[in-house]
Structure 1
Amino acid sequence: MKAHHFLYPLIAAVSLNVAVQGNAVAQTEQRIQLSQIETMFVNMRAKTPWNVDGPLLWGYFFFDPSEEKLKGAAKELAANYRIVGITEVPGRQTFRLHIEKVEVHSPASLHARNAELYEVAEKHKLASYDGMDVGPVPK
């Protein structure tokens, strides 16, 4: 496993929270907004030497206390992403699934990718899809 240094983790951590409304349980979440992604792209253009309109290495992260649930999501995602690994988060009773893919994104396409990954988190009943980070494609 190669270690990658990513300059731009996205600002927002996104958790799927369970809210009780009467007798019904509803999942609520704070999703990464398109405006946040647009700001991220502006900053990358201004502060990195990267071709932001070309291929970059995008990492995506999911969290859950159940390693087995993350393994189920990883199995589904392995068809389209490289599975970096599932690791225990030190000091917390939770695990992190890290996947990555070399992709070309615009703010709109990254926003659409996030929507797909939120759906994966919901399908597997994961605690969170936590967003992404980005860096140059390793040589």
Structure 2
Amino acid sequence: MLSDMRCYELPDPALRAYDRGVGTLRVSGEVRGYLASVVGEIKFPARAPWPWFVVVWLDGTKERSFEDYGPHWCTVSELDAGYFDHYEQGTRKDRRGWFGRTIKDTEQGPPRRYEFAWLPADEAAEKWVELRLTDNDF
């Protein structure tokens, strides 16, 4: 139950490493993808950093972005501990939507725990360009 979770105290309340950061997602030391992030600001109920994340797989596929916020900081606390619980890369499928329109959808892969490590700032900046990340991805 969420109310039973402890609040996570941020080691860096500004989340500087998370702003335009990129980290590796590894399984048994092998890179499987990257996790990129930006930090905005949430204003309610109080001003606080508001990180957004996107997973980018080795083939360049980007997943939908997702956010994190306090007091529990579920994603941030995992990353700070050196892991990320997510899913393996899913499979893309086209399906029929309303009025016969084709909808691109992704079926999630099985759950996976990834080893996570931030890239140094200069490598992250290079990887940001290589992965073709833009603010619209978040």
Q: Same fold, TM exceeding 0.5?
A: no
Query: What is the TM-score with the length of structure 2 in the denominator?
Result: 0.27
Higher-strand-fraction structure: 2
Of structures 1 and 2, the one with the larger relative CO (CA 8 A, separation 6+) is 1
Higher-helix-fraction structure: 1
